[in-house]
A and B are shown apart, each in its own frame.
Chain A
């Protein structure tokens, strides 16, 4: 097991180099001078040639692109991912500051998606073509078709404007995290609910379930101990991917709720051609994706002993 984990972690090195190189090339091919853009935002007007020249020098943009990449890579090996052109703060500090806040709402959203979708998916499968199945189908359809910004505004209208229970936006208290997490959770529930239902239906039609049922096994035990466990592999895979997506792609939710997370940070960086931040982000998120996948893979072994034994 330890060797397996070590091997997977070593994969990170070529992944880091590959994705950082791709990010660097793409960012540099995109039109726009980061110095000029940073100044425009900073000054609220077109900068003079002198201001742009000074900023380019400060940012080290006068060197050729390959020189800048090699210099950046050398620094990155020592843990220095550079300094943001946009904010002037070290990239690693910004990412480390922002990641836990995103983790809060993504974790909350994931938990909510699990709590909503798995029980409803199971019930829909068990009561196939019954009222619960129909209701869950409608809910899934709604959840899948409502864009996240619309869900966010509806939640604000209901929970803040109408009922006055929660603050509209901000990040100071735990109350501020509820609506962003709800928005992410609702968005994530729809497909997960349908997946749980279809996987559960497939499992319930398996011979071993029929055999267990024929042997008189209690329905709840049959469902939760035998059927559910076998449906969890694809669900865990999707959960892992969705969680990683929430971590990197919650930009709209973060903007609406003024939630200082990592998604908004990188979108602003892209608009401002903030190369160090973009490269730092892809490395950071590449690592997160790989770790999440690793945890999911290890989770397979816990869910299904056959996978663990095959690994040996």
Chain B
């Protein structure tokens, strides 16, 4: 007997209530122009054009979600899922999701949205490795015109929380997004000029609430400073991804800075299975001392100009719901850190760096994920903070992600600085991928995180429970306990900052509901000023 999670219709009021419940609200900047229908046009400066144009084409849905396409479910800004193209869903033991689809929805090209479209989309994902949802060519079965069953290739009870990612947007049968873009979304394509701009207009036949603006042009600016200058020059009305270090320049330029809820993180991981000379992390006292010697607020103030929140978990706490309280983040206490090291036999040497059995307590901090530039001056701030407790830090900046991962795969480092974002509703996916005990003899690259950081049975037990639970509350509770193992009990993960999105808006913009996850942004809430 399966459990059933009934969906509710998504509308503007519910969205506002949902975001309000998470301490969020629509950012109302100015008086909204009186309107019934979509009106006016907006130019938005976004970062690089990252669309692919081959058989894995993602034009129109990721990494810039232009709202042309939609997924089966919607990820709310507080990381809960609500119905979108799926009206309801039901878990059928042992591993199947039966999904009832919304009726009366059409794609922009006039074809009907139905079970065949879902199967076509899921089979397309399967041919590319199955995605995070783990579907294969046999996974999707059409029950009737508006019902499908999806059985992942492995036990995945988190499927509905993952399937809302824009990468899983539903395409009409036979569509290759490299050639044409036709979805069910609130906006439809007007023009895509690769590397330059993407223009969409309001879909007059949209099944949900109509968008606030009639046309949006997304102009690509790979360089963040040029993007900011474009806002200042009046070339665009809104810019995304304002660099944290230069956020103050938005207001200095006469524009408004909009911030959203936390949707990304910065954290440092301690290698606990390294070989000499990268084996200091095996000493739990050192890990704990380092974790409580980090002053998160100082990092935020000096490296991020105040534009972040102290991190308490590795992923946005909102995704854990009430269970976020189960994660005990380390508290800054440098005196206790010094005492811990003294008790563990690490005594301060002449150079100010502690020593034990003739070995200096110097750690190698590797910076390079996503890129070294993503972390600004954070490595140097950490270096200075750890020097205060007699821990030396050598900083290694890798030129790109590949070099960082190559270094990780051979375990050459003690501390690993990473940044990432949460873009689906599964709180267990990332911790599972990074910290689960790897299989013996597994692919070296696929297992490099586990080989460096996996804390063992206590974590594995909780993360398995999170993977296999059906009820959302149980998933959140198990994921929080798993995270508490890596953060508090084993001190493998040191949370640093929770990042929220920074948007610059000109006086032309009246209102925008900012999503925690950029790829899940709904542009329907955008309103022009009077």
**Residues in A lying within 8 Å of B, measured CB to CB:** 30-33, 36-37, 40-55, 58, 83, 86-89, 153, 156-157, 160-161, 164, 167-172, 255-258, 260, 264, 271, 273
A257 to B221, CA, bound (A): 7
**Shortest distance from the beta carbon of A99 to any chain B beta carbon, whole Å:** 14
- A256 and B54: CB pair below 8 A? no
By a CB distance below 8 angstroms, the chain B residues around A37 are: 401-402
A275 to B510, CA, bound (A): 46
Q: Which of B58, B221, B230 contacts A42 (CB 8 A)?
A: B58
Q: Which of B56, B167, B223, B443 contacts A255 (CB 8 A)?
A: B223
The proximity string for B residues 374-396 relative to A, scoring 1 for CB distances below 8 Å and 0 otherwise, is: 00000000000000000000000
**Shortest distance from the beta carbon of A230 to any chain B beta carbon, whole Å:** 43
Q: A153-B225, A169-B219 are in contact. List 16 more A-B contacts (CB 8 A).
A: A36-B445, A41-B50, A46-B434, A48-B433, A49-B442, A51-B128, A53-B443, A54-B128, A87-B52, A89-B53, A156-B233, A167-B233, A167-B235, A256-B225, A257-B226, A258-B221
The 11 sampled A-B contact pairs (Cβ below 8 Å) are A32-B406, A37-B401, A41-B50, A43-B131, A45-B420, A45-B430, A54-B129, A88-B54, A153-B229, A169-B221, A258-B221
Q: From residue 155 to 181 of chain B, which have CB atoms closer than 8 A to chain A?
A: 167, 178
- B54 and A89: CB pair below 8 A? yes
Complex: chain B residue closest to A85, CB-CB: B54
- B195 and A88: CB pair below 8 A? no
**Shortest distance from the beta carbon of B190 to any chain A beta carbon, whole Å:** 14
By a CB distance below 8 angstroms, the chain B residues around A258 are: 195-196, 219-223, 226
- A50 and B226: CB pair below 8 A? no
By a CB distance below 8 angstroms, the chain A residues around B445 are: 33, 36, 52
Complex: chain B residue closest to A49, CB-CB: B446
A223 to B254, CA, bound (A): 54
- A156 and B229: CB pair below 8 A? yes
- A172 and B229: CB pair below 8 A? no
Flag whether B194 is at the interface (Cβ < 8 A).
yes
Flag whether B397 is at the interface (Cβ < 8 A).
no
**Shortest distance from the beta carbon of B427 to any chain A beta carbon, whole Å:** 14
- A43 and B167: CB pair below 8 A? yes
Q: Which of B195, B226, B429, B446 contacts A171 (CB 8 A)?
A: B195
**Shortest distance from the beta carbon of B293 to any chain A beta carbon, whole Å:** 28
A170 to B230, CA, bound (A): 11
Q: Which of B55, B219, B423 contacts A45 (CB 8 A)?
A: B423
- A160 and B235: CB pair below 8 A? yes
Complex: chain A residue closest to B222, CB-CB: A255
- B129 and A51: CB pair below 8 A? yes
- B195 and A260: CB pair below 8 A? yes
Flag whether B7 is at the interface (Cβ < 8 A).
no
Q: Which of B229, B232, B402, B442 has the most CB of A within 10 A?
A: B402
A253 to B46, CA, bound (A): 18
Flag whether B421 is at the interface (Cβ < 8 A).
yes
By a CB distance below 8 angstroms, the chain A residues around B58 are: 42
By a CB distance below 8 angstroms, the chain A residues around B429 are: 45
Flag whether B132 is at the interface (Cβ < 8 A).
yes
Complex: chain A residue closest to B421, CB-CB: A44
- A46 and B403: CB pair below 8 A? no
- A50 and B221: CB pair below 8 A? no
- A161 and B232: CB pair below 8 A? yes
A83 to B56, CA, bound (A): 13
A230 to B232, CA, bound (A): 49
By a CB distance below 8 angstroms, the chain A residues around B131 are: 43, 51
Q: Which of A33, A83, A86 has the most CB of B within 10 A?
A: A33
Complex: chain B residue closest to A164, CB-CB: B233
- A53 and B129: CB pair below 8 A? yes
Q: Which of A42, A260, A273 contacts B194 (CB 8 A)?
A: A260
Q: Which of A30, A168, A273 has the most CB of B within 10 A?
A: A168
- A168 and B229: CB pair below 8 A? yes
